[in-house]
Chain A
Amino acid sequence: MTAGRPILRFETVSKHFGGLSVIEDLTFAVRRGSRTGLIGPNGAGKTTVFNLITGVYPVDAGRIYLDADDITNVPSRRRIRNGVARSFQNVRLMRHLSTLENVLVGQHSRNGGLFGVLQPISLSARNRWREEARAGLADAGLAKYERATVGGLPYGVQKRIELVRALMAHPRLLLLDEPAAGLNPAETEALHTHLVQICRSGDITLLMVEHDMQFVGALCEELVVISFGRKIAEGTPQAVRQNLLVQEVYLGKPAVEQEREAVAESPLVAAGVSRAS
């Protein structure tokens, strides 16, 4: 029964660059079909985690499991076939390709064999791969940008194209690196709706790095918090919010002390109303 097995599992993973330890003994799991957020202060190592998952960096210790597969030593090129696709912090589309062609790149892992590579995609009038890509763009409301060279498109549009490209790989785990960064409120709202829709079927699990706490709070069912390469909390947003260690990391020790004093002096507490801890 696969329903219980997490889609992603980190087991005591460590990574260092030179003498600097960036990820230290990291262990966490992402529930299948969930919308999970990976949060933490700047420099915590969140993008490094993504790079380890996709194989950009090899781990120095520990293991990474994608569903039932141990992908720790799988070369980066093959991991997309294991089912993990990602978007990037600074949008990384191929600037010399059109929107449609960029999306077609996303299909490569499913159609990259010798026969697939020689498919006359851009030549034949009807081609199921091209139709699939066009449908993907249409679903995201981007049909009118099909022929445009991506270099000239606005940032928000490029981000959405990148998402469509990642989805073309039919991933089981979708990694999103700051998907809401740089978007205006309308775009953020649209993104939220789109992501909820994607996850509705339960086939895709979302793991996202984000700094926009409102966005994370509205979208994510579970959070993993890391700081200085170590996990400091894991659980629902409510639980995480009340975790003192997390508060310390985000607010700093003095602020947490002030919080405690304020609570202690509160008339409500004096009146006997207890506060969940």
Chain B
Amino acid sequence: MSGYAEGILILLAINVVFAYGAFLPLAAGQLNLGLAAFAAIGAYSSAYVSNVYAIPALAAIPFGAFAAGIIALIVAVPVLRTRGIYLALATFALGQIVQATILNLGFLGGAAGYPVNEFIRLPFISAFTVAVVALVALLFGTRFGIAVTAVHDDERVADLMGIDVRAFQVTAFVVGSAIAGIAGGLYAHHFSYIEAQYFSVTLSITIVLNVLLGGTQTVIGPLLGAAMFTLLPELLRGSAHWRYVVFAAGLIVLMALRPEGLLTGDQLRQLFGWRRTDDEGSRMPREGPT
């Protein structure tokens, strides 16, 4: 495989993990604009232990995810007491604070950035990606997925049905942040150098937009969105910045025409050949007295 192709696939693999980090809270109806900060926590903590304690990446990266998850849990309780736009802004503020804090930590390189010693390649990275996708897919195949979607659709009724709305929101937030931590760890150990400036709010926004592109209704949506964001611009062969311009413009148009994203729950059911009963259902039933 050419170095170029491998580079693209690595980027795709990492972006997919990132996307699932954003997907979890979005599925529960929350916007995490501080996502990049949790990726940063994962990146820096995994890089630190692998640099300083010579812990192999295989263990360092999960450690980074764990660190991100713990921090997410600590902040989730006060942050998730806010709602809607306030929640999004609280996560945004959180992200900025984490980024600024990391910039100040001299032993992590500060503004000059932090080099990472261990180097990982595509097979290793894609193993993590597959694991994350499998984990989320499995999770959403359980009652967890149904409960989370219920919370997203109608918190009041979900509560009356006995679903602990707060618990599910916190769980989605924490797991999503931990997944973002994995993405950060993968990024750190492949690109061999991380700087706090990279983990900005625009990164968070970009990842969220990836997920919205693919659609939040299905578990495959984030995969689709990340794939489109990563692969499509390669066909256009523009500079990195044109990629963002086209992506943003495309998303704006998509939101105007089809806000639910590329793949809806309905379409997924159709795609797998399950009987589409809508058409039948929308006609009045023929049985019964006429």
Contacts and interface: CB of A to CB of B under 8 A. Distances in A.
Asked whether any CB of A lies within 8 Å of a CB of B in the complex, the reply is: yes
A96 B149 contact: yes
A54 interface: yes
B162 A78 contact: yes
Interface residues on B, range: 35 or more
Interface stretch (B51-59, B62-70, B250-258, B280-288): B280-288
A165 B278 CA distance: 20
Interface in A77-136: 77-81, 86, 88, 92, 94-98, 101, 104-106, 108-109, 111-112, 116-123, 129
A98 B162 contact: no
A105 B138 CA distance: 18
A118 B269 contact: no
Given A106-B161, A112-B163, A147-B275, A122 B156 contact: no
B45 interface: no
Contact of A157 (B140, B143, B217, B281): B281
A123 B274 contact: no
A148 B264 CA distance: 13
Interface string A141-184: 00011111100111001000000010001000000000000000
B146 A121 contact: yes
A112 B162 contact: yes
B232 interface: no
A149 B266 contact: yes
B281 A81 contact: no
B179 to A, nearest CB: 18
Contact of B281 (A106, A109, A152): A152
Interface of A: 54-56, 76-81, 86, 88, 92, 94-98, 101, 104-106, 108-109, 111-112, 116-123, 129, 144-149, 152-154, 157, 165, 169, 186, 189-190
Interface of B: 138, 140-147, 149-150, 152-154, 156-165, 217, 265-266, 269, 274-278, 280-282, 284, 288-289
7 contacts: A88-B157, A94-B157, A96-B217, A96-B265, A144-B281, A147-B274, A152-B281
Closest 9 CB pairs of A and B: A109-B162, A123-B141, A94-B153, A186-B288, A80-B162, A148-B277, A122-B141, A152-B278, A117-B143
